[in-house]
Chain A
Amino acid sequence: MSESELGRKWDRCLADAVVKIGTGFGLGIVFSLTFFKRRMWPLAFGSGMGLGMAYSNCQHDFQAPYLLHGKYVKEQEQ
């Protein structure tokens, strides 16, 4: 794995961690306010879940160096 590819993977991991922890925290806030009487544990639970998902994604990304991250391009009919 080249250094630039490694750097891209780290960037992707950090961005993924920020998004997932924030999403988990946000969902925790919503559920805490709506169903759980403003307790703190949904926030911790959501943040922890987001962190765990991000860690799992990063681990998979680093341990599978030969998988290419591409995107689908629809074929245009002539």
Chain B
Amino acid sequence: MVARVWSLMRFLIKGSVAGGAVYLVYDQELLGPSDKSQAALQKAGEVVPPAMYQFSQYVCQQTGLQIPQFFLPISFSQLPAPPKIYFPIRDSWNAGIMTVMSALSVAPSKAREYSKEGWEYVKARTK
């Protein structure tokens, strides 16, 4: 009897955890249109770093771990804001493509110039 009640309780707890996760995904529209997903990602990028910073501060306060003051040039209240997570993939990809293409376009002339300099250097050394 007790075992049956306990297994039922366990099933209900697991079901509520899984159901809560599914409801959270539905409520935040994470599996919906791409606009909502992009907004959710942006919101997470704004919320997560300060939350992690506050959690680390709470852990330091609870455990008593402190960075020695002489290692810190400034106090905790003057620490800069946590970095914002933003990586412009489009800009860096475009910049990378342009860098590679410009390097390829000047490669023959640069190779000729360096080989000429090398040849002059060898000639000067062998004289």
CA distance A16 to B36 in the complex (A): 8
- B35 in contact with A69 (CB, 8 Å): yes
| List of B residues within 8 angstroms of A31 by Cβ | 18
CA distance A31 to B21 in the complex (A): 9
**Number of A interface residues, CB 8 Å?**
27
CA distance A71 to B38 in the complex (A): 14
Partner of B41 from A18, A50, A71 at Cβ < 8 Å: A18
- A27 in contact with B22 (CB, 8 Å): yes
Binding site for A on B (CB under 8 A): 14-15, 17-18, 21-22, 25, 30-31, 33-35, 37-38, 40-42, 89-90
CB-nearest residue of chain A to B42: A15
Partner of B30 from A13, A20, A71 at Cβ < 8 Å: A20
1/0 contact trace for A26-37 toward B, CB 8 Å? 110011001100
CA distance A24 to B30 in the complex (A): 10
- B41 in contact with A27 (CB, 8 Å): no
- Per the 8 Å Cβ criterion, residues 1-39 of A in contact with B are 7, 10-16, 18-20, 23-24, 26-27, 30-31, 34-35
Number of residue pairs A-B, CB distance < 8 angstroms? 55
16 chain-A/chain-B pairs, Cβ below 8 angstroms: A12-B34, A12-B35, A15-B37, A15-B41, A15-B42, A16-B34, A18-B41, A23-B25, A23-B31, A24-B31, A26-B21, A30-B17, A30-B21, A57-B33, A61-B34, A69-B35
- A11 in contact with B37 (CB, 8 Å): no
Partner of B38 from A15, A23, A27, A30 at Cβ < 8 Å: A15
- B40 in contact with A19 (CB, 8 Å): yes
Given A7-B90, A23-B25, A27-B25: A13 and B34 interface contact (C-beta under 8 Å)? yes
